[in-house]
Structure 1
């Protein structure tokens, strides 16, 4: 399993277009990669920093998403306009332990 950790903070150029793009891409990624996109969680801190955690079943599926033209275009907009700061970390999950019932937590 692959875990993508995306930290960010909006710039002063953040606008409604970001939310429209984010909603569209969230629907697209679930429709196209639903079986391989394990889970997505988004958080925002009191000081405005944002954190997205995205679990992927394998590196190949993540590579296909990275190559998606619309996703790439949104990344460019983020770099040029929407984000004052961002940090992306991609990690391979070695082990997961959980108190959740197996059906409540997707298997790797």
Structure 2
């Protein structure tokens, strides 16, 4: 996600954060976290975000997928 899209997403109501991972061959996963489905829908309908998606389809991506999931529980481990 571009710096502009990161900045724009962070300004959206319900935005909770983002993580992005890329392999050496350029394949990647970006996970954005949102408060609820309404916040996701509002982000999807943001005109600047829609323009960036269209540009991505034309210039950068041969394919991509979007999945929406609810996190019911989570935990982590950090070695001291």
TM-score where L is the length of structure 2: 0.82
Number of residue-to-residue matches in the alignment = 77
Report deviation, 1:55.
Answer: 1.2
* Larger relative strand fraction: 1
Residue 23 in structure 1 maps to residue 6 in structure 2: no
Residue 64 in structure 1 maps to residue 42 in structure 2: yes
Summarize deviations over 1:50-82 as a string: whole Å, max 9, x none: 110111110001111111100001111111221
Q: How does 1:1-108 map to 2 (within 5 A)?
A: 22-33=2-13, 36-93=14-71, 95-99=72-76
* Larger relative helix fraction: 1
Instruction: Give the aligned CA root-mean-square deviation in angstroms.
Output: 1.7
Report deviation, 1:96.
Answer: 1.6
Q: Distance in 2 between matches of 1:81 and 1:55?
A: 26
Paired residues of 2:18 and 2:31 also in contact (CA < 8 A): yes
Secondary structure, in 3 states, of the residue corresponding to 1:91? Answer: coil
Q: Distance in 2 between matches of 1:25 and 1:45?
A: 21
Structure with larger RCO (C-alpha < 8 A, sep 6+): 1
